[in-house]
Amino acid sequence: MNTAVLPPGVVAPPVAFHWLGSQSLEAPEATPELAREVAARLRGAGPRLAALRNDQILRAIDETLAEWLEPHAEARLAAEEAFCASTDLPRETAPFGPLLEACAGPRFREWARQEIQPLEALEGFAPGTDGAPVRATGPRLAVHILSGNVPLVWLPSVLACVLMRTPCLLKPAQDDPLTAALFVATLVRRLPALAAGLAVLPWAGGDTALETAVLREADAVIVYGGGESVAALARLISPEARLAAHGPRLAVAAVGREMSGPGRIEPVAMAAARDALLYDGRGCLSLPMVYLEAGGLFEPREAAGSFARAMEKVAGVYPAGRPGRDAAAMTQGWRARARARVIAGKPCAVWTGSRGLEWTVIFDAELPPPDVPLVRTLWLAPLASADELAARLAPWADRIHAFAWAGPESRRTALAESLVPLGLTRCTALGSLQSPPLAWPHGGTSPFRQFLRWTRMER
């Protein structure tokens, strides 16, 4: 299967083949010259894309998502197989369905209409909110550097660029080599006019000559990745280009004293375990730490046992993948440290699964959580009062972007307000962290608001 989609007119380059699981994948031999040619073809597609109507594009998106939501869709099955073989994640743990469903049906249309007022301004001048005609245009070329830790996390930004008539060049992640090419191919089959403005080109990350050739042509760059890789790519883009960087971020949760009692803490713990283990804990919305407020029927140390029991149950629903060597070693080290603290009589407790690193729960009343999330681990810490939460999270300022609260709704707003200075962009309920709505301003804004340029006609 081909991991690339090239625009019409690009001469097919030599390809290299390799096996991944049961699939034979082929990828072009990417060079700076090929990258420049692809970028030039895409930039030239602007007028062709501008001639498309909203309903044409939205219908193609709807049909593509509906096709991929079919459990036995050929393209989706092939993408899932390649993703799971590359990441060593079971399909149950890294499902494609939730991220497709988030965009499907009326959801993407409603998001677009909410963000772009009026939506008709994408087609030409249309009356704005004050009656004056306005026109909205997207960038001339957007380059997307995709992630491989969670499948399809890039889908909303790519679809937004398609609706903005922005030609897109997608670089697939090494751990997700096939999804982008198969999804783009399905979209183009539904609306062939998009072929001139969509391309997927894999290359080895860190190829400075090739990345410079591509990024210097882009008006918008959307990057998913680690902090160092994001910073390295940011240095290569044009000063005029707009950058949307989705680097390492954290989600946290707090449980109010009102929930710490029989019949209440158990469903809270199950919801936290889902947020911790879905996608194997590898996403920016995966839950690595939970703060337990004192003063309930169960004190935090007693409540922690419910989280261990929940992790054991949920680990059967979302089986463990194969962790990286460094992450596994760090997790084993923290397990050993926690056990040593228990033996030494410290206010610490540790629970683990019976098979490898399938799950871990560590409760510690003194030590702060590690800087880097551990493999399939929930770190629990007590709070005398939830009002202390912002101070406890201060070391992670600008990295906290999602917060889940289990407790009375009347207390949630004040807690979220205290976390806004730390970078918070989403506040939700436990169990929902891994199911963000399209309206979530990922990175603090939306691709429509970040990339659209508006023209206003005054009378």
Q: What pTM was computed for the model?
A: 0.95
Q: Give 114-120's long-range contacts (Cβ < 8 A, gap of 24+).
A: 114/439, 115/446, 115/448, 115/449, 116/448, 116/452, 119/54, 120/54
CA torsion angle 79 83 89 90 (round to 10): 10
Mean per-residue pLDDT pooled into runs of 10, the chain (459 residues): 95 91 92 96 96 98 97 94 95 95 95 97 96 97 94 96 98 96 98 98 92 94 85 88 89 97 97 98 95 97 98 97 94 97 98 95 96 95 96 92 96 96 96 94 92 94
Distances (CA, A) of 54 to 85, 109, 135, 157, 158: 37, 10, 14, 17, 16
Predicted local confidence at residue 229, as pLDDT: 81
- CA separation for the pair 122, 454 (Å, rounded): 10
Q: Where are the alpha helices (DSSP H) in 153-196?
A: 155-163, 179-190
392, containing H or E segment:
helix 389-393
- CA separation for the pair 384, 188 (Å, rounded): 56
CA atoms 387, 393, 397, 399: torsion sign: negative
Predicted local confidence at residue 226, as pLDDT: 76
Task: Please answer whether residues 167 and 138 qualify as being in contact, where contact means their C-beta atoms are separated by less than 8 angstroms.
Answer: no
Predicted local confidence at residue 364, as pLDDT: 98
- CA separation for the pair 180, 5 (Å, rounded): 9
134, containing H or E segment:
strand 133-137
Predicted local confidence at residue 51, as pLDDT: 97
Domains of the chain, earliest start first: 15-248+441-456 (3.40.605.10), 250-424 (3.40.309.10)
- CA separation for the pair 199, 197 (Å, rounded): 7
Predicted local confidence at residue 459, as pLDDT: 77
The token pair that represents 16 in the structure block = 């290299």
Question: In terms of Cα–Cα distance, which of 244, 239, 271, 268 is closest to 256?
Answer: 268
C-alpha neighbours within 13 Å on the C-beta side of residue 20: 24
- CA separation for the pair 123, 52 (Å, rounded): 8
Predicted local confidence at residue 228, as pLDDT: 79
Predicted local confidence at residue 160, as pLDDT: 98
Q: Which residues of 328-357 are buried (b: 16+ CB within 10 A; e: fewer)?
A: eebbeebbebbeebbeeeeebbbbbbeeeb
